[in-house]
Structure 1
């Protein structure tokens, strides 16, 4: 088995993919992510690259090859040839690095809840700036891109978490989104009421309605459920800021708070 560093062009990628006869299904999101890395100048040579079995068939790297083709740009890659078939079950057995892991390696302190809240805000940020999207969609981000968003949103997220460390990340994201434009004293009251439930004013009952919904854990799981919970939290928060009653929690984008442009 021999590994060499090679400059792989789109033409080479096309030719090598012709030997991709028995690989796993292609994940379009991963190809798009790698293509963006190439086009953004964020492609780096690592120990992970391309691999071929000893019979010449592609063993690993189809997503990288498709990304090179779609980007139309050649990049340097470590290429391993002569792998034995017995090694197949050992490929891709490691744990992928999370957004939290990437922040850690960049020297940025965080935790899973704060990262999850930031992801919610990024999802809504994309919906706001999309011409046709109305719902969140999964899309991988480059580590430097996520760090940029985290730096822009982290102060707002810290504010949202201040008095209730167990608050659901989607609700944290809703409060943090409002932090940029709404009255922060009123936001702090909303945050405190979600923790205590001690509302005495009729204008505060929207916070209690959201709190009851959270306590019953009726929000479900998955990306769509998180999208709904974020928007319902926004609808409760808007009613609270206006000191008006709320009969129902609404999951519509017109209740979301505008987020500042991140560059």
Structure 2
């Protein structure tokens, strides 16, 4: 890399900025890196040179837009990459997000790359929220990340959990900072799962988070009994829950995630209402009930 500079023009002058980029990258003997305040209009201009790239993923663009609009988009070393002719090799999702968010983003931009370098870009595995939490030495990182995703979806109003959208890592961290009790939810989920291994930890943790907000003492008791089924009278909703999950798993092998959460909510609501349940009944494709 021949240099790394901050590319600036007085105020925002799109033609001058574009001309500066073309001059730097077009005359460079090799690749060069610069930091630029990339405005939406310039991002739109660069997208005109996005002529050979992979299919656009709208959900990824939407994720980036939310982070940009929340002012949580950091300079992390990821760059918009252009070839020697100014064609976009990498960064189309970020460019589209800048346009949609209608906000400038300070970012690295690398030009002068050989066009054949595109075949080796983005070939690594993307870091997940669980990876980020692990790097931050978060206990039970995988379960915490899974619960964060489901809680975020719940708060977005997705009660069927069928949307192909989830929180970004930045949004997950913000949610964890706002609701640190999710860590406790993950602990309870793993403990319950160890005793009764038929419900995924993410469903147990999400349910605990929701129930704990209603009645912490009863939530603690409820999950102890989900785990061990001890001292429950015939017809108790938790016994119906344990029986239905065990039966469904034996017949189907795998149960939809939302059905797990629905079963937990139905049993919780019946327990809170002091109602017996001989069997849990759930209409197909129905949203998850609201805990009471």
TM-score w.r.t. structure 1 length? Answer: 0.81
Name 2:55's counterpart in structure 1: 25
Match of 1:4 in 2: 34
Q: CA deviation at 1:203?
A: 4.6
CA contact (8 A) 1:164 1:191 kept: no
Partner residue, 2:14: none
Q: Unpaired runs of 5+ in structure 2?
A: 1-30
**Alignment map for 1:127-206 (pairs within 5 Å):** 127=157, 134-136=159-161, 137-151=163-177, 152=179, 153-165=182-194, 166=197, 167-168=199-200, 169-182=202-215, 184=217, 186-198=218-230, 200-204=232-236, 206=237
* Counterparts of 1:6 and 1:210, CA distance in 2: 57
Q: In the alignment, what sits opposite 1:237?
A: 268
The CA deviation string for residues 50-79 of structure 1, in whole angstroms up to 9 with x for no partner, is 111234321111111111111111122211
Instruction: Pick the structure with greater CA Rg.
Output: 2
Give the unaligned 5+ runs of structure 1. Answer: 128-132, 259-263
Query: Are residues 1:41 and 2:71 paired?
Result: yes
CA RMSD of aligned residues (A): 2.6
Partner Cα separation in structure 1 for residue 254 and residue 152 of structure 2: 21
Instruction: Find out whether 1:66 has 2:96 as its counterpart.
Output: yes
CA contact (8 A) 2:152 2:166 kept: no
Deviation at 1:29, TM superposition (A): 1.5
Hey, what's the Cα distance between the residues in 2 that align with 1:83 and 1:57?
Answer: 10
- What is the distance in 2 between the residues matched to 1:143 and 1:234? 27
d(CA) in 2 for partners of 1:219, 1:238: 26
- The alignment's TM-score, normalised by the length of structure 2, stands at 0.74
Shift of the 219–72 alpha-carbon distance from structure 1 to 2, 3 Å rule, reads: farther
After TM superposition, give the deviation of residue 198 of structure 1 in Å: 4.2
Count of paired positions: 248
